[in-house]
Amino acid sequence: MVYFSKHMEAVPPSATLKTAQLVFQLERQGIKVIRLDAGQPDFDTPEVIKNAAIKAIKEGFTFYTSSRGIIDLREAIAKRFDKEDVEIDPEKNIIVTPGAKFAVLSSLFATIEPGDQVIIPTPNWVSYFSMIQMAGGIQVPITSPNTKMINEDKILENLNYKTKMILIDYPCNPTGNILTEEEQKFLHDIVLDEDLFLLSDETYRELYYTEKKPKTMLCCEDLHDNLIIIDGFSKTYSMTGWRLGYVIGSKKLIDLVDKFQQNSTTHPTSFVQKAGIVALNQAYEEVEKMRNIFKQRRDMMMEILDKIPEIECTIPNGAFYAFPHIKNPKMDSSAFAYNLLKTKKVSVISGNPFGPGGEHHVRLSFATSSEQIKEGLKRLTEFISENQQNVS
């Protein structure tokens, strides 16, 4: 009899990827699904980026690189923050990883010891909970009020000597909420006063629909020993399959993440790193175009959702998801998403796995065509009216 790791057996699968697998199975059977689940842009990766990778392969850039990633890419990442007056040393303070997900995981392994508590505002991205668990930490989910990113009072109430980190992402997956400057100030003060790590996942920072781009937490210079900034290329440049992300942090943090990477993935794919430089330096216009299209689709989705009486939804200010509350459904959100897929062939992500505050919600992605959004929401409306509880 062989025994598998109980620790790993207890980790839940990714709800987003599990849904995608279900969709792939249906598609293999020839069933067409309207995909409102996918957490990835539906645009092709910009041509200049693809060409850079092809050129790098043709020139033979197909071998191991530094485990931190090539220095030219780290320099291009550091330069990105010049406009925001943040100085980063690309030698000491940046490591490039295979995707932002691995950047989060390796940073958690570098900071969390068994039993350490991580405060996480919810609803929030499904994988944070599993990653904290894999690293041996304890998640302390704190439900945020509707339009806000964090609940300051509840965070203060839950602090104790085991609290090691606060983990945030903004614009938030799944709500699209963005940290306000007051909330940033609150986090700044608490992290300094209590000597905590602040992991700020800024993966969606370029996808904002407000007047100004959200301010990076890196702007708080006196926080730099406590900060862990995560970002990646997947969402901004439509490069999900390329697997490229990075961590910015103190020298000590980057040294530890480097050790984790050296002994696991080694580094992200060599020629993908070359393409990353071109993405940062030459794809500005494409990013703007995609952002504008996402904004139009968001507006269209919100207009349709607004007309459905059984739905309440706050306007997402960033990312590409809406996270509506379904009033009085006959079933929980997992059953809702499953039955919607089964009966109407529309895939969404159930609100449950996004943590407390997610029940009776679904995540709808507007990273798909207007036609798909319209048809998907039409079928969703039918499904809701067929599955409402009678409330008098």
Question: From the CB of 170, what's the least distance to ligand PMP, in Å?
Answer: 9
Q: Give dist(CA 31, CA 62) in Å, integer.
A: 39
* Interaction between residue 39 and ligand GLU (CB under 6 A): yes
CB of 224 to ligand PMP, least distance (A): 21
Contacts of residue 284, defined as CB under 8 A and 6 or more positions apart, other chains included, come to none
Using the rule CB under 6 A, is 198 a contact of ligand PMP? no
Instruction: Determine, following the binding rule CB under 6 A, whether residue 100 of this chain makes contact with ligand PMP.
Output: yes
Q: How far is the CB of 242 from ligand GLU (least distance, A)?
A: 13
**Shortest distance (Å) from residue 85 CB to ligand PMP:** 25
Q: Is 14 in the site for ligand GLU (CB under 6 A)?
A: yes
Residue from 137, 176, 232, 329 in contact with ligand PMP (CB under 6 A): 232
Nearer to ligand PMP, 34 or 229 (CB): 229
137's contact among ligand GLU, ligand PMP, none, with CB below 5 to 8 A by partner kind, is none
Q: What is the 3-state secondary structure (H, E, C) of the chain?
A: CCCCCHHHHCCCCCHHHHHHHHHHHHHHCCCCCEECCCCCCCCCCCHHHHHHHHHHHHCCCCCCCCCCCCHHHHHHHHHHCHHHCCCCCCCCCEEEECCHHHHHHHHHHHHCCCCCEEEEEECCCHHHHHHHHHCCCEEEEEECCCCCCCCHHHHHHHCCCCEEEEEEECCCCCCCCCCCHHHHHHHHHHHHHHCCEEEEECCCCCCECCCCCCCCHHHCHHHCCCEEEEEECCCCCCCHHHCCEEEEECHHHHHHHHHHHHCCCCCCCHHHHHHHHHHHHHCHHHHHHHHHHHHHHHHHHHHHHHCCCCEECCCCCECCEECCEECCECCCHHHHHHHHHHHHCEECEECHHHCCCCCCEEEEECCCCHHHHHHHHHHHHHHHHHCECCCC
Question: Which residue number, 270 or 381, has a Cβ lying nearer to ligand PMP?
Answer: 270
Could you tell me the CA-to-CA distances from 255 to 94, 102, 127, 258 in Å, in that order?
10, 15, 24, 5
Contact stretch for ligand GLU (CB under 6 A) within 11-19, 213-221, 269-277, 375-383: 11-19
Which string of x and - marks every residue 119-158 that binds ligand PMP (by CB under 6 A)? ------x---------------------------------
Q: Are strands 362-365 and 349-350 parallel, antiparallel or unpaired?
A: antiparallel
Among 45, 122, 127, 372, binds ligand GLU (CB under 6 A): 127
Q: Is 173 in the site for ligand PMP (CB under 6 A)?
A: yes
Q: Which residue, 243 or 325, has its beta carbon nearer to ligand PMP?
A: 243
14 binds, among ligand PMP, ligand GLU, none (CB under 5 to 8 A by kind): ligand GLU
Instruction: Please select the residue that binds ligand PMP; options are 175, 203, 238, 317, rule is CB under 6 A.
Output: 203
Which of 106/372 has CB closer to ligand PMP? 106
Subset of residues 13 to 42 that bind ligand PMP, contact rule: CB under 6 A = 39
Least separation in angstroms between CB 243 and ligand PMP: 7
- Cβ 375 to ligand PMP shortest distance, Å: 25
Site for ligand GLU in 169-188 (CB under 6 A): 173
Interaction site with ligand GLU (CB under 6 A): 14, 16-17, 39-40, 101, 125, 127, 173
Interaction site with ligand PMP (CB under 6 A): 39, 99-101, 125, 169, 173, 201, 203, 232, 234, 240, 245
